[in-house]
Amino acid sequence: MLNLSRRKFVMSAAFAAALGLDRRLAFAPAAHAQKAPEPAQGFHRYKVGSIEVTALYDGVWEKPHDPAFIKNASVEETKAALGKAGLPTDFVSVPLTVVVLNVGGRLIMVDAGSGGQWQPTAGKLAANMKAAGIDPAKIGTILISHFHPDHIFGLMEKGTNASVFPNAELVVSAAEYNWWTEPGRVEKLPDPRKPLGQRINSVFPAWKTFRLVEGEKEVAPGVRLVSAPGHTPGHAAFHVSSGSQQLMISNDTAYVPALLGPHPEWQGAYDQDGPLAVESRRKLIDRVIAEKMMVCGAHFPFPGAGSFAKDGSGYVFTPGKA
């Protein structure tokens, strides 16, 4: 027993080191049930040309294993992929990171995190934004990838649904907005998704701050919406370009790269249209590799940026600058 727990202890420290996290935190006794180490600092800044990117940590979902999680992979295969990436295998580690871009003094946020209304181990965005010295009232634009809880609940106050960012213009693909708010949509959703559909429909149409984008357009200077459907009907990535540098904010296209890097063909239960999600994933990662750009994702290991390379029939993700 002693040996076993010692092994786990060492793995956890190694995992922290691999992510560039503070080893002291990995050694600190857990204050709650969370097993994954927290980043030593909940924000991280890097540059894409002249654009400053701040990655803000919202938290983590330690997702229990579930045979329905990946439609075309077993729990054992999932565990093997996590182990190969140096991640804990007794749960699926799903971290959540939000990025804020400073484009010539203009603050543009991508998605809004969970607002403490998703998993009890998430909801740290506001505190980490404050620690990074970012005033939420100064965020002028929020680019929204899709309407899943971990990406939009941070827009709405718990209980009242009041707007958390009333000064921000909310930019989303018309495909996403129109699908979720189509008359009769809530009735057509599977039961577990109905409360989400109801919340979207009772709040968003009354807000006058949405700007719907048709197709792939520039949504801010140097930032372009990239259509990546499948995860949801209007799921979008955002391409950032400044000088000779590029960053693809992939959002949920590659979800947890330890799983979908080596197995881009895996279809998550969270992918609404599995085959289309696979097609979008391959197309986006192939582009990222061909154009040698940096990539980040909402559920990549914090701080989330790195690069992809081809590896057999799949890909391998390496954290750090491209």
| Residues 6+ positions from 249 with CB-CB distance below 8 Å | 99, 110, 237, 238, 239, 240, 296, 297
Q: How far apart are CA 26 and CA 29, in angstroms?
A: 8
For the window 73-112, what string marks contact with Zn ion as x by the rule CB under 5 A? ----------------------------------------
What the block records as the tokens of 272 is 């609404």
Q: How far apart are CA 224 and CA 218, in angstroms?
A: 4
| Residues 6+ positions from 314 with CB-CB distance below 8 Å | 261, 262, 263, 264, 265
| Residues 6+ positions from 298 with CB-CB distance below 8 Å | 96, 97, 98, 111, 145, 150, 151, 251, 252, 304
Nearer to Zn ion, 150 or 176 (CB): 150
Length of the chain: 322
Q: Which of 37, 97, 91 is nearest to 62 (CA)?
A: 91
Among 38, 58, 111, 150, binds Zn ion (CB under 5 A): 150
For the window 234-273, what string marks contact with Zn ion as x by the rule CB under 5 A? ------------------x---------------------
Choices 68-76, 150-158, 164-172, 286-294; region in contact with Zn ion by CB under 5 A: 150-158
Residue 231 beta carbon to Zn ion: minimum distance, rounded to whole angstroms: 8
Nearer to Zn ion, 46 or 300 (CB): 300
Residue 252 beta carbon to Zn ion: minimum distance, rounded to whole angstroms: 4
- The number of residues that bind Zn ion (CB under 5 A) is 2
Q: How far apart are CA 23 and CA 76, in angstroms?
A: 29
Q: Could you say which residues in the range 178-217 bind Zn ion, by CB under 5 A?
A: none
Residue 150 beta carbon to Zn ion: minimum distance, rounded to whole angstroms: 4
Nearer to Zn ion, 38 or 252 (CB): 252
Is 58 a binding residue for Zn ion by CB under 5 A? The answer is no
Choices 18-26, 143-151, 170-178, 216-224; region in contact with Zn ion by CB under 5 A: 143-151
Choices 34-42, 118-126, 129-137, 146-154; region in contact with Zn ion by CB under 5 A: 146-154
Would you tell me which residues interact with Zn ion (CB under 5 A)?
150, 252
